[in-house]
C-alpha cells in the first residue's frame, strides 16, 4: 500500500552532556505519522554540517567518503520503501526499519491465523461461543486445508497470496469438487471472511480480498407447514416410539418457536409461573444470548406432561428427550412420507411454522413474535414470517367489509 507521506532526513543529534566536538549523524524516516530514528554510524563537526542538503560541506576525501555512505544509506531506505510497495505489504516506519536491519518479517500464513482464531474460540466455549459454533469453524478450517492441498499442493499459503482469485477458486472447489450447495458454500465463505477481516484489522493484509465478491444466497423453499400439514402430523398414529418422540418434539417447537439447540438444552427450571398465572418458558437463546419468554400454549403443555416422567429427561434434567439434529431431520423425512407431505421437512421448519402459521396468521403482532423468538431486530423476524394466503385473505376480507360499510 503506497503511503501518503514519506520523508527522509539526515541530521546531527546532540549527545547528553555535550560540550563540543563532533556530533553523531542520525537518519529519521517518517511515513503516515509513524517514524523511526537510527544512528548512521558516522559523525561530523557541527560547523561543517549542511542541514539543507543533509550532508557534510566540503570536497576533501574523508568528506566525500561520508557523503557517499549517506547517499548509499538513503538509497537503501528508498529501495526498502519500493520493495514493500511492490510486494503489496503495508508500508510503515517499522517495516522499513526491519528491512534496513535485515530483520526477517515473519510471514503470516492463512491456516496459521485460522487455527489461532479457532483455538481462542475453543477456549471461550460456554462463555462467548457455543460448541456448535466452534465445530462449524473447525469444519470450515478443514475445507480450506483440503483446498490448499488440492489446488496448490501445499499445507498452507501466505497471506500475501490471499486475493480475489484465490477466493473464487475456493468457492469453485467447494461447489464443483466437493459437491456442496451454493448456500452452504456461501456459509463457509462467511466463516473464511471472518478470518480475512481479522487479518485486515491487524494490518497483516492491506485490503479485503472479498471486496466486490458476490456472496448472495439463493432463495430456497422454506414454506412453513400450513394448518392441514401440521394437523396431519399431529393426528397421525405412529406405532414406532422413535417417530412418536421426534413428532412430539417437532410439534412442541411448532408451538413455541424454539430452535433445535434451545429445545435440546431446555431445563425444567426454565418453565416458570408467569405474572398471569400461566406457564412460561424463560431462557436465554443459545445463538444470540438474548432473553426469550414464551407463554406455553395447551398443545405444548400437553407434550411436556407426556414426558414429565421420561427416564432420559429426569436423568439429564431436560424437559424433552431430544436426539441429535441429524437423526431428528432424518426421522422427519420419514414422518413427512408417512403423512403424505411431498416436500423436505427439517427441524428448523418448526420455527418458521411458529412464526407464520401459529402466530402471525392468527393476528399476533410481529413485534410480539419477534420478542418470543428472541430476535434482536424485526428484520430477522421478517425472514421467518412469510405472509401466507390465508392471512392475506383475512386482511382483505376486513377491508372489504369496511368499504361496504362506508357505502
Are 243 and 331 in contact, with CB atoms under 8 Å apart?
Answer: yes
Residue 277 lies in a domain: yes
Res. 3: pLDDT tops 60: no
Residue 212 lies in a domain: no
Q: Are residues 235 and 344 in the same domain?
A: yes
Calculate what percentage of the chain has a pLDDT beyond 70.
93
Burial class (CB in 10 A: 0-12, 13-18, 19+), 83: middle
Identify the band that residue 1 occupies on the pLDDT scale cut at 50, 70 and 90. Answer: very low
| Segment 93-122 mean pLDDT | 83
For residue range 241-265, list pLDDT tens digits in order. Answer: 899 999 999 999 999 999 898 898 8
Res. 12: pLDDT tops 60: yes
Q: Are residues 144 and 254 in the same domain?
A: no
Are 137 and 191 in contact, with CB atoms under 8 Å apart?
Answer: yes
For residue range 223-240, list pLDDT tens digits in order. Answer: 888 899 999 999 999 888
Q: Are residues 114 and 97 in the same domain?
A: no
Q: Which domain holds residue 125?
A: 110-201
Are 329 and 349 in contact, with CB atoms under 8 Å apart?
Answer: no
Give the residue, 180 or 290, on which the prediction is more confident: 180
Res. 387: pLDDT tops 90: no
Rounded Cα–Cα distance for residues 54 and 111 (Å): 46
Q: Does pTM top 0.85 for this prediction?
A: no
Q: Are residues 233 and 197 in the same domain?
A: no
Residue 27 lies in a domain: yes
Q: Are residues 96 and 119 in the same domain?
A: no
pLDDT score recorded for residue 2: 47
- Looking at 54, 74, 101, the residue that finishes a domain is 101
In the chain, how many domains are there?
3
* CA nearest to 358, candidates 236, 257, 232: 257
pLDDT score recorded for residue 261: 87
pLDDT score recorded for residue 407: 67
Identify the band that residue 388 occupies on the pLDDT scale cut at 50, 70 and 90. Answer: low
- Looking at 77, 101, 125, the residue that finishes a domain is 101
Q: What is the side-by-side strand order in the sheet with 291-295?
A: 271-273, 279-284, 291-295
Residue 219 lies in a domain: no
Give the residue, 117 or 221, on which the prediction is more confident: 117
Q: Are residues 97 and 114 in the same domain?
A: no
For residue range 51-73, list pLDDT tens digits in order. Answer: 999 999 999 999 999 999 999 99
Residue 365 lies in a domain: yes
- Looking at 50, 73, 101, the residue that finishes a domain is 101
Residue 208 lies in a domain: no
Q: Are residues 89 and 133 in the same domain?
A: no
Res. 105: pLDDT tops 60: no
Q: What is the CATH number of the domain that holds 327?
A: 1.10.443.10
Res. 33: pLDDT tops 70: no
Amino acid at each position: 500500500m503506497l503511503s501518503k507521506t514519506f520523508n527522509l532526513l539526515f541530521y546531527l543529534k546532540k549527545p547528553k552532556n555535550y560540550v563540543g566536538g563532533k556530533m553523531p549523524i542520525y537518519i529519521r524516516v517518517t511515513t503516515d505519522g509513524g517514524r523511526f530514528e537510527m544512528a548512521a554510524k558516522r559523525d561530523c563537526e557541527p560547523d561543517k554540517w549542511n542541514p539543507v542538503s543533509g550532508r557534510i560541506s566540503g570536497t576533501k576525501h574523508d568528506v566525500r567518503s561520508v557523503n557517499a555512505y549517506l547517499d548509499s544509506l538513503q538509497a537503501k531506505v528508498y529501495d526498502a520503501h519500493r520493495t514493500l510497495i511492490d510486494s503489496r505489504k503495508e508500508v510503515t516506519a517499522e517495516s522499513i526499519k526491519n528491512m534496513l536491519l535485515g530483520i526477517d518479517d515473519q510471514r503470516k500464513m492463512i491456516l496459521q491465523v485460522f487455527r489461532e482464531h479457532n483455538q481462542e474460540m475453543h477456549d471461550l466455549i460456554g462463555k462467548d461461543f457455543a460448541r456448535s459454533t466452534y465445530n462449524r469453524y473447525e469444519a470450515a478450517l478443514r475445507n480450506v486445508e483440503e483446498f490448499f492441498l488440492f489446488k496448490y499442493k501445499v499445507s498452507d499459503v501466505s497471506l500475501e497470496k490471499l486475493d480475489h482469485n484465490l477466493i473464487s477458486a475456493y468457492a469453485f472447489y467447494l461447489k464443483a469438487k466437493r459437491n456442496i450447495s451454493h448456500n452452504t458454500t456461501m456459509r463457509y465463505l462467511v466463516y473464511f471472511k471472518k478470518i480475512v477481516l481479522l487479518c485486515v484489522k491487524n494490518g497483516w493484509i492491506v485490503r479485503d480480498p472479498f471486496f466486490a465478491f458476490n456472496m448472495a444466497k439463493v432463495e430456497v423453499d422454506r414454506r412453513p407447514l400450513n394448518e392441514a400439514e401440521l394437523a396431519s402430523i399431529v393426528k397421525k398414529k405412529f406405532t414406532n416410539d422413535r417417530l412418536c418422540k421426534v413428532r412430539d418434539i417437532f410439534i412442541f417447537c411448532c408451538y413455541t418457536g424454539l430452535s433445535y439447540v434451545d429445545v435440546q438444552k431446555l431445563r425444567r427450571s426454565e418453565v416458570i409461573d408467569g405474572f398471569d398465572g400461566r406457564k412460561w418458558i424463560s431462557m436465554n437463546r443459545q445463538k444470540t444470548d438474548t432473553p426469550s419468554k414464551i407463554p406455553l400454549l395447551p398443545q405444548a403443555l400437553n407434550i411436556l406432561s407426556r414426558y414429565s416422567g421420561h427416564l432420559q429427561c429426569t436423568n439429564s434434567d431436560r424437559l424433552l428427550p431430544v436426539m441429535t439434529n441429524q437423526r431428528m431431520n432424518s426421522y422427519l423425512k420419514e414422518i413427512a412420507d408417512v403423512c403424505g407431505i411431498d416436500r423436505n421437512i427439517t427441524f428448523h421448519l418448526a420455527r418458521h411454522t411458529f412464526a407464520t402459521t401459529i402466530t402471525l396468521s392468527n393476528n399476533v403482532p410481529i413485534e410480539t413474535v419477534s420478542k418470543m423468538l428472541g430476535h434482536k431486530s424485526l428484520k430477522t423476524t421478517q425472514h421467518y414470517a412469510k405472509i401466507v394466503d390465508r392471512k392475506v385473505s383475512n386482511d382483505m376480507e376486513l377491508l372489504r367489509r369496511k368499504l361496504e360499510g362506508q357505502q
